[in-house]
Structures are given as structure tokens and as C-alpha cells.
Amino acid sequence: MTDSTRDSLTTDLRRLEEIVRSLEAEDTDLDRALQLFEEGVSRLRAARDRLAEAEARVQKVLEDAAGQLHVTDFEG
């Protein structure tokens, strides 16, 4: 997961649940329902993609004498 997609899984899932609830409610008109469905499908795809993302990355954070932070890959 990249920083720009940070937290978006939470957003995607939350929105998906809203959409499903609206679709399951009686009072959505068809145009709106179709719109919601399309949005739902793209969020579903995004969530699946994010879940399929690769290996956990482990990095080490160190501070140098000047107080600068350095992030390097961690060799466990």
C-alpha cells in the first residue's frame, strides 16, 4: 500500500457497506440504484486489489548525530 492510498481500504469498505444498505432499502430510484451499483463495483475492485497487495515491508528508522531520520530496509 502506498501512502496515497492510505486508509482508503477503510473508506472503500465503509462506502461499500453504505451502498449495499441503500440498494437493499426500498426507496432508491432506479437511476440512483444504477449509479450506486457502478460505484460499488469500482470500490469492490479497489478493495480486492488492495487486499492482494504484496509482501509486508519492514524498515528500520535511525536518527543520525545531526538529528536526521534515516529509513533503511530492515534485514531480519
18 is a contact residue toward other proteins (CB under 8 A): no
Phi, psi of 40 (to 5 degrees): -60, -45
Q: Least Å distance between CB 42 and other proteins?
A: 11
Q: How far apart are CA 49 and CA 43, in angstroms?
A: 10
Interaction residues for other proteins, span 34-73 (CB under 8 A): 34, 37, 40-41, 44, 47-48, 50-51, 53-63, 69, 71
Q: Which three cell numbers mark 51?
A: 487486499
Q: Least Å distance between CB 12 and other proteins?
A: 9
